[in-house]
Amino acid sequence: MCGIIGYAGNRDIKKLLVESLKRLEYRGYDSVGIGIISDKLNVFKEVGDVSNFERKLPKLKGNIGIGHTRWATHGEVSKLNAHPQISCNNKIAVVHNGIVENFKELKEKLKGHKFESQTDTEVIAHLIEENYKGSLLEAVCLAIKKIKGSYSIVVISEDEPDKIVGARNESPLIIGLGDGENFLASDIPAFLKYTKRVVYLNDEEICLLKNDSIKIYDLNGNEKLKEETIINWDIKDAEKSGFPHYMLKEIHDQQDTIQRALIGRIFEIEREIKFEEIIESLLTNRYNNIHIIACGTSYYSGFVGKYLIENLTGIPVYVDLASEYRFYGIRDNSSLVIAISQSGETSDTLAALKEAKKSGCNTLVITNVIGSSATRIADGFILTQSGPEIGVAATKTFTSQIIVLFLLALKISFNLKNIGTQQLYEFILQLKELPRKARAALDQSATIREISKDFFKERSFLFIGRGINYPLALEGALKLKEISYIQAEGFAAGELKHGPFALLTKNFPVVVIVTKDISYDKILANIGEAKARGAKIIAIADQNDTDIEKYADIVIRYPSVSNMLACIPISIILQLLAYHIADLRNCSIDKPRNLAKSVTVE
Is the fold of 237-437 the same as that of 443-590? yes
Residues 396-423: what's their mean pLDDT? Answer: 97
The whole-chain average pLDDT of the chain stands at 92
The tally of CA atoms less than 13 A away on the side-chain side of residue 156 is 30
How far is residue 27 from each of residues 71, 94, 320, 554, 599, measured CA to CA in Å? 9, 19, 25, 36, 8
- Helix 396-415 to helix 277-284 angle (10° resolution) is 60
Dihedral angle sign, alpha carbons of residues 385, 386, 387, 390:
negative
Residue 372: per-residue pLDDT: 87
Residue 492: pLDDT above 90?
Answer: yes
Domain limits of the chain?
A: 3-231, 237-437, 443-590
Which residue is catalytic, options 249, 536, 591, 597?
Answer: 597
Cα Rg of the chain (Å, integer): 25
74-103 pLDDT, tens per residue? 788 899 999 999 998 999 999 998 888 888
Residue 14: pLDDT above 70?
Answer: yes
230-286 pLDDT, tens per residue? 888 777 777 788 899 999 999 999 999 999 999 999 999 999 999 999 999 999 988
Residue 76: per-residue pLDDT: 86
Residue 112: per-residue pLDDT: 83
Q: SS in 3 state form for 53-64? A: HHHHCCCCCCCE
- Is the CATH number of domain 3-231 3.90.950.10? no
Which residue is catalytic, options 2, 207, 295, 587?
Answer: 2
In DSSP notation, 183-221 reads: EEESSGGGTTTT--EEEEPPTTEEEEEETTEEEEEETTS
Residues 315-339: what's their mean pLDDT? Answer: 90
182-208 pLDDT, tens per residue? 999 998 889 999 999 999 998 899 999
C-alpha closest to that of 27 among 396, 464, 342: 342
Dihedral angle sign, alpha carbons of residues 272, 277, 279, 283:
positive
Q: SS in 3 state form for 403-456? A: HHHHHHHHHHHHHCCCCCHHHHHHHHHHHHHHHHHHHHHHCCHHHHHHHHCCCC
Residue 1: per-residue pLDDT: 57
Residues 6+ apart with CB under 8 A from 463: 473, 474, 476, 477, 480, 488, 489, 490, 491, 510, 511, 513, 574
C-alpha closest to that of 520 among 498, 542, 543, 499: 542
Q: What is the share, in percent, of the chain residues with pLDDT greater than 90?
A: 76
Rounded Cα gap, residues 154 and 329, in angstroms = 35
Rounded Cα gap, residues 472 and 454, in angstroms = 23
Is residue 185 within 8 A of residue 153, CB to CB? The reply is no
In terms of CATH architecture, what is 237-437? 3-Layer(aba) Sandwich (3.40)
Residue 597: per-residue pLDDT: 63
28-71 pLDDT, tens per residue? 788 999 999 998 999 999 999 899 899 999 988 899 999 999 87
Band (pLDDT 50/70/90 cuts) for residue 476 is very high
Residue 2 appears among annotated catalytic residues? yes
Is residue 410 within 8 A of residue 271, CB to CB? The reply is no
Residues 353-360: what's their mean pLDDT? Answer: 92
Q: What is the share, in percent, of the chain residues with pLDDT greater than 70?
A: 98
Band (pLDDT 50/70/90 cuts) for residue 166 is very high
Rounded Cα gap, residues 54 and 33, in angstroms = 10
How far is residue 517 from each of residues 86, 553, 566, measured CA to CA in Å? 62, 21, 11
Residue that wins the pLDDT comparison between 487 and 111: 487
In terms of CATH architecture, what is 443-590? 3-Layer(aba) Sandwich (3.40)
Predicted TM-score (pTM) of the model is 0.82
Amino acid identity for residue 362 in this structure = N
State how beta strands 289-294 and 335-341 pair: parallel
SS3 state at 3: strand
SS3 state at 38: coil
Rounded Cα gap, residues 64 and 290, in angstroms = 49
Q: Using the CB atoms, write b or e for 454-477: b if 16+ within 10 Å.
A: ebbebeebbbbbbbbbbbbbbbbb
Residue 231: per-residue pLDDT: 86
Please state which of the ranges 233-237, 262-266, 507-511, 556-560 shows the lowest mean pLDDT.
233-237
Q: Using the CB atoms, write b or e for 223-239: b if 16+ within 10 Å.
A: eeeeeebebebeeebbb
301-313 pLDDT, tens per residue? 999 999 999 999 9
Residue 354: per-residue pLDDT: 93
C-alpha closest to that of 361 among 409, 318, 407: 318
Rounded Cα gap, residues 90 and 112, in angstroms = 15
Dihedral angle sign, alpha carbons of residues 385, 387, 390, 396:
negative
Rounded Cα gap, residues 14 and 469, in angstroms = 49
Residues 6+ apart with CB under 8 A from 106: 100, 123, 127, 146, 147
575-602 pLDDT, tens per residue? 999 999 999 999 999 988 888 666 655 5
Residue 15: pLDDT above 60?
Answer: yes
SS3 state at 533: coil
